[in-house]
Structure 1
Amino acid sequence: MSEPMTHSEGAGEPTRRDFLYITTGATAAVGAAAFAWPFIDQMRPDASTLAVSTIEVNVASVEPGMSLTVKWRGKPVFIRNRTPEEIEESKAVAIADLKDPLARNANLDATAEATDVARSAGEGKENWLVQIGVCTHLGCIPLGQAGDFGGWFCPCHGSHYDTSGRIRKGPAPENLPVPTFAFTSDTVIQIG
């Protein structure tokens, strides 16, 4: 024979047992959130990382033919003020002669061709070249104003880049990447 129902069970009102279940569940949820928060919080970028996600570089003292290397996101970035001769030499190269026909410029569409203008700071600022200075073969740091094409040369495995940072000879599969950047004034470049 079954036990008779109490008044509160029959009427659908909460019992003490229901209250204990709800209280225990809420306490467990708060405890789990308090336990998990340090693990979730540690996944956010450190303040020092956020501080270097964007940098500004004053290039007023970089004369034509000179280069400057800065550190951005833990990688070297080559900034070069090219001479008119270097620009003309780079413009004369046909896209069909390039090992990698894509510009690899984060400021342009991913399918943009590796023309000299597409690899530079753009119309009116073709003399400025900004690129991440890491060889696309195995991540070495190329030497500037070196190699068969007067641009960059990676002595580790023999990759030669031209004065636009395009791979021309050697095992590297891609052109040196161009990061997101913009001129905030005539002499200041913001990278990132």
Structure 2
Amino acid sequence: MNPSPEGHGQEPSRRDFIYIAAGGAAAIGGAFLLWPFIDQMNPAADTLAVSTTEVNLADVAEGEQLTVMYQGKPTFVRHRTAEEVAAARETGPNQIPDGDSRNLNLVEGSDATDQHRSAMAAGVRDGVEVDATLRERFIIMLANCTHLGCVPVGQSGDYHGWYCPCHGSHYDTAGRIRRGPAPENLHIPPYTFLSGTTIRIG
């Protein structure tokens, strides 16, 4: 009976074991080498520290705007005038380029009425008693143009809301895109009322 060719049907040799062990060590070493690069993509400690932001709405006078930081992003807290609210309510969601509220406090796909964009959307849901006039007057939005992320200028533009001078996007007093290259309304972050005048964003 002839012996089988060398290497066939035999247990792994010492050389095979060395190859396997070396490959495993190289894989583990590669993972250790890559970990610092992967880990640096996690949010910075200072960003995590501001994952929520509290704002006292009583500090924002009618007709004024406060810019606060939320998760490292500028966020507008605007106390609109009665005229600004009325102007926003004259325009329905079917008259604007983006009919979506872009409001994380509502179910996805809610239409972009002024009521769905203002603090009316959060005030009822929280179970906190909030003055109805205050809820309709305030609007809280991420302060980044939805075109390329620039920060629009308040109380300006063709619709007296926000205007992005970088590329000419015009937003109305409800933060809805009306003209220009921006594809979406200014986004509204999640927030809740902690009291009749204090909100927590995030």
TM-score with structure 1 setting the length: 0.77
2:152 corresponds to 1:152: no
Aligned-residue CA RMSD in angstroms?
3.2
5+ residue gaps, structure 2, are 1-20, 122-131
Cα offset for 1:158?
0.7
For residues 99 and 145 of structure 1, the distance between their equivalents in structure 2, rounded to whole angstroms, comes to: 20
The verdict on how the C-alpha distance between 1:60 and 1:156 changes in structure 2, with shifts beyond 3 A counting, is: same
Give the alignment of 1:6-155 within 5 angstroms. Answer: 45-122=43-120, 124=132, 125-155=135-165
Identity of aligned residues (%): 54
Number of the residue aligned with 1:184: 194
The verdict on how the C-alpha distance between 1:102 and 1:34 changes in structure 2, with shifts beyond 3 A counting, is: closer
Detail structure 1 runs of 4+ shifted over 3 Å in the superposition.
31-47
| Secondary structure of residue in 2 paired with 1:165 | coil
What code does the residue aligned with 1:110 have? E
In the TM superposition, what whole-angstrom CA distance separates every residue of 1:84-104 from its partner, at most 9, and x where no partner exists? 111111111022211100000
TM-score with structure 2 setting the length: 0.74
Larger Rg: 1
The verdict on how the C-alpha distance between 1:105 and 1:38 changes in structure 2, with shifts beyond 3 A counting, is: same
For residues 165 and 38 of structure 2, the distance between their equivalents in structure 1, rounded to whole angstroms, comes to: 43
For residues 120 and 137 of structure 1, the distance between their equivalents in structure 2, rounded to whole angstroms, comes to: 22
The verdict on how the C-alpha distance between 1:45 and 1:171 changes in structure 2, with shifts beyond 3 A counting, is: closer
5+ residue gaps, structure 1, are 1-23
